Copies of this chain bind each other. A is one copy, B any other.
Amino acid sequence: MTPPPAPGPAGLGTPAPADLVVTGCTALTHDAHGRIVFVDDATIVVRDGVIASVTAGGTRAGGSAATGVPEAAEHLDGRGTVALPGLVNCHTHTPMVALRGLAEDLPVHAWFNDWIWPVESQLTERVVGLGARLACAELIRGGVTTFADHYFAMDEVAAATEESGLRAVLGQAYFSTQGPEGRAASLDFALRRRGAADGRITTCLAPHAPYTVDDADLAATAELAAEHGLLVHIHAAENREQTDNSLARHGRTPIEVLERAGLLDVDLLLAHATGLDAGRDLPVLRRAGGRVAVASAPRGYLKFGWDTTPVRALREAGVPVGLATDGAASNNTLDVWESMTLTALVQKYVERDPTWLTARQALDHATSQSARAVGLGDTIGSLAPGRQADLVLVDLTGPHTQPVHDLAATLVHSARSADVRTAIVAGRVLMRDRELLTLDVPDIAGELAELLPALVDRGHGKRIQEYRG
C-alpha cells in the first residue's frame, strides 16, 4: 500500500480524494474517557483502509470544499442508519456451523461424547473450509467484522478469512493427547499466518482447555507465547462443574492451573469463565501480569443450564469481557448482536438489578472491550482516526426501531443483527444493502450439504476426546 497523497494546506483547496466516504449517519464514537458519544449527521472518511476522520455535519454527496466532504472513490449514503464499529466475535469455532442443530436439548457430556467429538473425528479439510465460508457469510450479515476462531485445520479458516474479507484472530487448537506435535502445529500455524490477508489475520496459540492440555504443555505454551509475542486463546472454567472437578483432581481451580503454568503473565483470552470461583479466582485475575480478558457467549450458557460469566465481578477486577457466540453446534447462531442483547438481559437477571448493565455498558462490551479481548484494542473497536475502517451501518427506519427516545437502548434492545445493512472491513465493503459481495451462499451451502451425510455418521464409534470436564 502506498501512503495517500498529503492534503493541501487547510483552506487552500479541496481535500485529497478519499477511498470511501459515509455521510449522513449517526456515528457511535468514544470520547477521551472511553465513554460512548453519538455524533449526529456524521461524515466518516476512509483512506487506505483506515479511518481518516469522523466529523459532524456535511451530508451533501460528492466533493465540496464548503461542506468539508472530500471526493471519494466510493460514497455511501448513511441517512437513517447508525455507524458502529463492526462487532467482534471473541470466541467461536466457525466450521462448526456444519453441525448447527445436530445435537439439541442435551447435557454437555452427551453433547460432547455422543455427538460432537464422534462427528469431529470425521472432519475433513473441505468441510472445515466450507463451514468457515458459510460462517463468514453469517458473520458479515450479522455485522461482525472480526472473529476469534479456535479450531482445527485452521489453514482452511485462514483461506476463508482471506476470501471473505473479514478480519480474524486465528488459533490452531490442540490437546495433549496429540503429543508435542499438537503444540508445535499450533505454533507453526501462528507464525506462518501471522499478518496474512494484508494484515487482517492475527494469530494466537490455542490450547484447548486445562482439562485436555496438561500442566507441562500449558507451561510450554506460556513460554512460546512470551517468546513470540503471541496471544493465548483457551477455554477455561467453562462451567462450575469443571471448576469443582479441577479442585477435586488438582486442588486448584482452572484459573489457578493457568496461573501456575505462567499463562497469566502473557496475553490471555479465556473463553466462557462461567465457573469462576469468586473467592479464589478473582484475586488471581487481579494480579495477572499479562493482559487477561474473557469472552462471554451467554446464549449457550442458558441452553446448557449453566451459570453465566460473572461480568460485574470481572469488571471490578479490571478484566475486559468481550462478546462471543461459541460455535453454532452449541449456540445455533453466530449472532453477536444477540450476544450483546442477552448480555444486558441476563446480567440484569442474575444480579437482580435492572439498573446494572445498561444499554451503554452493553455497547461498551460490544466495542472497546471486545477489541481489547482479542488483542486489537488499539486497532479496532472505535470509530476514530487511525483505527482500521471496520464499521457497519445499521438501519433504524424499520417499525421495530421507531421512535428513538434513547439510541443506545434502541441499538441494544430493539435493533437486530438483520438491521445491519452494510459491512465494511479495512475500508472494503463486504455487504451492501444486505447483499454479500465476497461469498456465494447457495454454492457454499449446496456443496456442504453433499458432505454432511458422511460427516454426521456416527457408526464408527470413535471420538476425538472423552469429555470429563
| Complex CA–CA separation, A400 to B444 (angstroms) | 13
Query: How many of chain A's residues touch chain B, expressed as a range?
Result: 35 or more
Taking CB atoms, residues of chain B closer than 8 Å to A304 are 348, 354
**Segment touching B, from A30-38, A49-57, A97-105, A460-468:** A97-105
**Segment touching B, from A207-215, A275-283, A330-338:** A330-338
Find residues 134-171 in chain A having any chain B CB closer than 8 Å to their own CB: 134-135, 137-138, 141-142
Taking CB atoms, residues of chain B closer than 8 Å to A409 are 101, 104, 332
**Segment touching B, from A196-204, A249-257, A262-270, A412-420:** A412-420
Taking CB atoms, residues of chain B closer than 8 Å to A101 are 403-406, 409-410, 413-414
| Complex CA–CA separation, A299 to B414 (angstroms) | 11
Q: How far is the CB of A28 from chain B (nearest CB, A)?
A: 16
Taking CB atoms, residues of chain B closer than 8 Å to A184 are none
Q: How far is the CB of A163 from chain B (nearest CB, A)?
A: 14
Taking CB atoms, residues of chain B closer than 8 Å to A138 are 398-400
Chain A positions 279 through 317: 1 when the CB is less than 8 Å from some CB of chain B, otherwise 0: 000000000000000000001011111100000000000
> Is the CB–CB distance between A299 and B354 below 8 Å?
no
| Complex CA–CA separation, A88 to B348 (angstroms) | 27
> Is the CB–CB distance between A299 and B100 below 8 Å?
no
Q: Does A452 contact B (CB under 8 A)?
A: yes
Q: Does A459 contact B (CB under 8 A)?
A: no
Task: List 16 additional contacts besides A303-B344, A403-B448; criterion CB under 8 Å.
Answer: A100-B405, A101-B414, A104-B408, A105-B354, A105-B355, A137-B399, A141-B400, A302-B349, A303-B413, A305-B353, A305-B354, A328-B414, A333-B400, A333-B414, A402-B445, A418-B418
- Give 10 closest A-B pairs by Cβ, nearest first: A418-B418, A332-B413, A137-B399, A302-B345, A101-B409, A138-B399, A101-B406, A101-B405, A305-B352, A102-B405
Interface residues of A (CB under 8 A from B): 97-102, 104-108, 134-135, 137-138, 141-142, 299, 301-306, 328, 332-335, 344-346, 348-349, 351-356, 358-359, 397-400, 402-406, 408-410, 413-414, 416-419, 441-442, 444-445, 448-449, 452, 456
